[in-house]
């Protein structure tokens, strides 16, 4: 019969150091805790005869005053509990240094970092030196679930650039199943300045460059909203199932803030819930401040191929900001899909941004639901799906299909003439458009234009089977811009507009100036405007070339 030896039980790690060397290889000792019995810092240790490893306060432990060979070695753990290094989980005592020490040991031992359920207070005055928890490739940072493991920044705490991150290349880092409370409400004296390691920025997760990084099932509570999750470079990164509540009370002069920011290739941003503070802000409220303290972008993505799907975003100036190319390579950026998202009470739904001198290719915006809030602070546009170009750029091979875009009632103040559209590009002469497919969308109560087509040129494109209801009901002083379909100034080549349905209800027909106002520039060829219908509206204004036919 095989016999087993039960481990000797002692209360703490200090008691383990106080033991005499057992002299028997494989002798087992079970500690009941780290600093005190039952503080969840327990571990099983085995005596390794002949070992001379230095005492690292986790994997190897040497009896106090012992200079011979032999050490206690921790058995069977692929992660380090922060409690093993003296972290307090009552929420009443600052435990920043103990957590920092855990990350240092984890990097040496190539182990994960585990936060057992509890509340961990960090970032009190005087702890800034320990507010940079560095991860290594393959590291898994985990807790016991959102709301069960809570890491909270202290009131009126120290400044920091990032909390968890690495500035060198990392692969396979995972952060999951915990809550980080940034406590922006009780740190109002701090200012977000510039995205610079020497500045004050309060980024919670910063992995750049990174590949196959995963941030999932985490809650980021009461955050500043300045790049809460940043993953840059590399490929295969995933941000999934997180909950973020943004409160940028003192955003200072830094305006390019995004709750989720991913700049890489082959990534996913899926099933996240992101809430900002921009809902209900009056447009004129911050007109004197070019960079006001409001939530700017819920999701910002650069590069591709990528999937942005199943997210719920509320209360941002931009629900989703989608950019071709990365800061490293402008040629990256094909096959970005934005689908089945809910964008609620934001200023803009999906903003498509082309870098200067580049062509943004291959974006698919489909099956999204958007309710846009015209009370929200606006700097440029209010767009369901909008194109934001830079000099010499182009947009090619886009599908904008099966989206529902609706607007809250417009404010009493006059809206800028070219600022508001359900789908479109409201500026003139800054971008070329080719292979743009706008199909089967429903647009409700667009204050200015339902669908707006402007730019340097349009070619090989179609606007087909869209339903536009009660467009042009706002207070835009330029009457032509109160139109369901609007286009001017750009030459067209093979642009087809057909089978669209334009409808007005009640008094809305009295507000709209045109059902369709189409004036492509001279030189337009082989275009068609057929089988479109208007219900209870106006006749179609068609000051266009004879090569465009109307049914």
Residue range 125-154: mean pLDDT, rounded:
93
Mean pLDDT, range 164-173, rounded to an integer = 86
**Do residues 317 and 377 make contact, with C-beta atoms less than 8 angstroms apart?**
yes
Domain spans, the chain = 1-77, 80-535
CA distances from 310 to 185, 218, 237, 244, 531 (A): 29, 16, 17, 15, 35
Summarize pLDDT for 372-430 with one digit per residue, the tens.
Answer: 877 655 555 678 898 876 767 888 899 999 999 998 866 555 555 556 788 887 555 56
Highest mean pLDDT among 27-36, 116-125, 505-514: 116-125
Distance (Å, whole) CA 367 – CA 309: 10
Q: Which residues contact 522 (CB under 8 A, 6 or more apart)?
A: 491, 545
Identify which of 53, 93, 95, 89 has the alpha carbon closest to the alpha carbon of residue 74. 53
Q: What is the pLDDT of residue 40?
A: 59
Instruction: Write down the pTM of the prediction.
Output: 0.84
Per-residue pLDDT reduced to its tens digit, 288-303: 555 555 667 899 998 8
For residues 313 and 299, the answer to whether their CB atoms sit within 8 Å is yes
Q: Which CATH number among 1.10.760.10, 2.160.20.10, 2.60.40.1180, 2.40.160.20 corresponds to the domain 80-535?
A: 2.160.20.10
Structure tokens at 13: 């790690």
pLDDT value of residue 328: 45
Does the pLDDT of residue 352 top 70, yes or no?
Answer: yes
Confidence of residue 551 (pLDDT cuts 50, 70, 90): very low
**Token reading at 215:** 């941030």
Which among 524, 415, 403, 413 is positioned nearest to 467, based on CA atoms? 403
Element (H, E) at 309: strand 306-309
pLDDT, one tens digit per residue, over 443-473 is: 998 878 888 887 778 889 999 999 998 887 7
Confidence of residue 484 (pLDDT cuts 50, 70, 90): confident
Asked if 181 contacts 221 with a C-beta cutoff of 8 angstroms, the reply is yes
Q: Residue 230's beta-bridge partner residues?
A: 206, 261
Q: What does pLDDT average to over the chain?
A: 80
Reading the block at residue 474, the tokens are 């706002």
| Closest to 265 measured CA to CA, from 228, 238, 227, 299 | 238
Instruction: For the beta carbon of residue 505, count every other beta carbon within 10 angstroms.
Output: 12
Q: What is the pLDDT of residue 161?
A: 78
């Amino acid at each position: 019969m095989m016999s087993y030896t039960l481990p000797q039980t002692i209360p703490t790690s200090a008691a383990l150091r106080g033991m005499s060397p057992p002299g028997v290889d494989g002798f087992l000792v079970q500690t009941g805790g780290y600093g005190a019995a039952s503080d969840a810092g327990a571990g099983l240790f085995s005596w390794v005869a002949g070992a001379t490893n230095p005492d690292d306060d986790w994997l190897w432990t040497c009896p106090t005053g012992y200079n011979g060979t032999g050490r206690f070695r921790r058995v069977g753990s692929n992660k380090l509990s922060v409690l093993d290094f003296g972290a307090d989980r009552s929420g009443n005592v600052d435990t920043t240094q103990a957590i920092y020490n855990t990350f240092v040991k984890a990097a040496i031992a190539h182990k994960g970092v585990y936060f057992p359920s509890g509340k961990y207070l960090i970032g009190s005055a005087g702890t800034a030196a320990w507010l940079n928890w560095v991860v290594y490739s393959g590291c898994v940072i985990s807790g016991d679930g959102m709301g069960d493991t809570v890491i909270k920044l202290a009131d009126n705490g120290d400044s920091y650039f990032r909390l968890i991150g690495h500035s060198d290349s990392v692969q396979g880092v995972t952060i999951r199943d915990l809550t980080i409370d940034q406590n922006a409400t009780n740190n109002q004296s701090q200012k977000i300045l510039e995205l610079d390691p020497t500045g004050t920025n309060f980024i919670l997760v910063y992995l750049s460059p990174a590949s196959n990084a995963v941030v999932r099932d985490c809650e980021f509570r009461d955050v500043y909203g300045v790049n809460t999750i940043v993953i840059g470079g590399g490929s295969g990164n995933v941000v999934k199932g997180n909950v973020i509540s943004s409160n940028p009370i003192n955003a200072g002069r830094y305006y390019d803030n995004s709750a989720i920011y991913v700049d890489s290739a082959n990534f996913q941003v899926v099933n996240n819930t992101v809430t900002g503070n921009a809902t209900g802000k009056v447009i004129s409220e911050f007109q004197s401040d070019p960079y006001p303290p409001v939530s700017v972008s819920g999701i910002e993505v650069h590069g591709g191929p990528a999937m942005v799907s199943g997210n719920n975003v509320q209360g941002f100036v931009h629900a989703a900001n989608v950019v071709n190319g990365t800061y490293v390579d402008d040629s990256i950026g094909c096959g970005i899909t934005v689908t089945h998202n809910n964008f609620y009470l934001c200023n803009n739904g999906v903003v498509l941004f082309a870098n200067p001198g580049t062509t943004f290719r291959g974006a698919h915006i489909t099956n999204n639901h958007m309710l846009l809030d015209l009370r929200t602070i606006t700097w440029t546009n209010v767009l369901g799906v909008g194109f934001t170009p830079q000099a010499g750029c182009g947009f090619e091979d886009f599908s904008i299909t099966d989206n529902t875009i609706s607007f809250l009632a417009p404010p009493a103040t006059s809206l800028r003439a070219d600022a508001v559209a359900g789908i479109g590009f409201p500026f003139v002469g800054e971008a070329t458009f080719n292979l743009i497919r706008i199909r089967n969308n429903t647009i409700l109560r667009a204050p200015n234009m339902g669908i707006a087509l402007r730019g340097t040129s349009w070619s090989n494109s179609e606007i087909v089977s869209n339903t536009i209801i009660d467009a042009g009901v706002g207070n835009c002083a330029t009457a032509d811009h109160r139109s369901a379909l609007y286009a001017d100034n750009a030459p067209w080549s093979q642009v087809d507009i057909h089978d669209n349905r334009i409808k007005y209800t009640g008094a809305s027909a009295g507000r709209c100036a045109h059902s369709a106002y189409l004036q492509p520039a001279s030189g337009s060829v082989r275009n068609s405007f057929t089988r479109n219908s208007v219900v209870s509206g106006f006749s179609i204004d068609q000051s266009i070339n004879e090569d465009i036919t109307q049914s």
